[in-house]
Amino acid sequence: MLKTVAEVTLRDGTPMQVVLCEPPEEEYAQGLLHFLRHKADDSLRGIRQRVLGQYADYCLDRYFVGEVDGRPVGHAWYGLPRVDDGRRWGIGNFGHVYTDPEWRGRGIAGELTRLLLDDFNAEPTGSCLLCSAGADAGRIYRRFGFQFIPPDATSGPMCYLKPSVAPDFATLDEEYFAPGLPTRVRHGHIGDRHDLDRMLDFSAPWIAARARWHMVGVSSLAPTFMAALHYVEDGRGLLSVLQTSSGSLVGYAFVLSLGTGYEVGLRTFDFVLHPHYLGEGVSLARETLAMAAEAETSDVHTSVAACDEKKLEILQSAGFAEQYRFADAFLVGSGTPEQSRHDVLLLKARASTA
């Protein structure tokens, strides 16, 4: 879908046309990708796949493009999952806000944000939009109802909530990750991205737990759900998610080939799990390894820092056994008074498990 949604006048009196692009719109997408070519490679890869409609089965993506005389001068985007799997919340992502340097200071970002939020508020499937922002951008977004997480911050995570959903992000956090619900493990897909790389990442209990939960060794090459999904798209393994009966996504796991071509047979397992659902960690690990076994994947290893005691306990209970120990190989709190070194354990899944 491609349509003009508004004609606005910028601060200097210049008229700007605002175009809404909802993928797939391949012809328009090429110009939009050229406009956003400054993005980092991984980010641009995701944008390219979205605007070309490759994620359209799982994602609702809307791009608001400001044009002057047919030339793009500004851009903003929001995305929501397009899935019917019993989710109570429609967790969205807002971002990629960009103004051509020659056109900055004329109110383009504010106009695009206003129109985008009008559209989001009319979209029945959306509950909230999450993003990260620096101090300058944050001041703009706050004028439109975004809140910092926590509220006294001046940069970092932000949230825009529909009033009917929750009064603030802390309340949404508590409700979304309410403990004790039944769970199931399934294959992950792009429609899970905003829940896991935004909602989970911004959750206060998970932020507190990250000091005792690290991605070690080659697992650090896939530090986010989206990064792991790119490996899956390249045919280098699989990705699972842990979903509650309310539809909340409370963790994910992967079995991926993260090494070079010389290590193509070596598969790495790792997982992320909200603290309220640590009791489901063994099931998440075992069922993910069972998925790998069905795909005829063997020789699955993982690395864990000895200081991550709960993570190590889950891995051992799931059938991983220590193969090697690298003494003092992991540094925590570099350059701080709390700096400490810890062993790194290389574990291997038992053949009956993987």
Token output for 281: 């960690």
- Classify burial at 163, counting beta carbons within 10 Å of its beta carbon; exposed 0-12, middle 13-18, buried 19 or more: exposed
Q: What is the pLDDT of residue 220?
A: 93
What is the C-alpha R_g of the chain? 22
* CATH class of the domain whose range is 180-349: alpha beta
Confidence of residue 7 (pLDDT cuts 50, 70, 90): very high
Average pLDDT, the chain: 93
Contact 75, 43 (CB under 8 A): no
Confidence of residue 265 (pLDDT cuts 50, 70, 90): confident
Q: What is the pLDDT of residue 116?
A: 97
| Among 323, 320, 342, 322, CA closest to 331 | 342
Q: What is the pLDDT of residue 352?
A: 55
Each residue's pLDDT tens digit, 207-231: 999 989 999 999 999 999 999 999 9
Q: Supply the pTM of this predicted model.
A: 0.94
Residue 261 has pLDDT above 70, yes or no: no
How do the domains of the chain map onto residue ranges? 2-175, 180-349
As a three-state string, the secondary structure of the chain is CEEEEEEEECCCCCEEEEEEECCCCHHHHHHHHHHCCCCCHHHHHHHHHHHCCCCCCCEEEEEEEEEECCEEEEEEEEEEECCCCCCCCCEEEEEEEEECHHHCCCCHHHHHHHHHHHHHHHCCCCCEEEEEECHHHHHHHHCCCCEECCCCCCCEEEEEECCCCCCCHHHHHHHHCCCCCCEEEEECCHHHHHHHHHHHHHCHHHHHHHHHCCCCHHHHHCCCHHHHHHHHHCCCEEEEEEEECCCCEEEEEEEECCCCHHHCCCEEEEEEECHHHHHHHHHHHHHHHHHHHHCCCCCEEEEEECCCHHHHHHHHHCCEEEEEEEEEEEEECCCCCCCEEEEEEEEEECCCCC
| Among 51, 79, 64, CA closest to 8 | 64
Confidence of residue 37 (pLDDT cuts 50, 70, 90): confident
Confidence of residue 205 (pLDDT cuts 50, 70, 90): very high
Contact 257, 264 (CB under 8 A): yes
Q: What is the pLDDT of residue 264?
A: 65
Domains 2-175 and 180-349 are alike in CATH topology: yes
Percent of the chain with pLDDT over 90: 80
Q: What is the CATH number of domain 2-175?
A: 3.40.630.30
**Helix pair 26-35, 41-51: axis angle to 10 deg:** 160
Residue 83 has pLDDT above 80, yes or no: yes
Mean pLDDT within 233-257: 96
Residue 263 has pLDDT above 80, yes or no: no
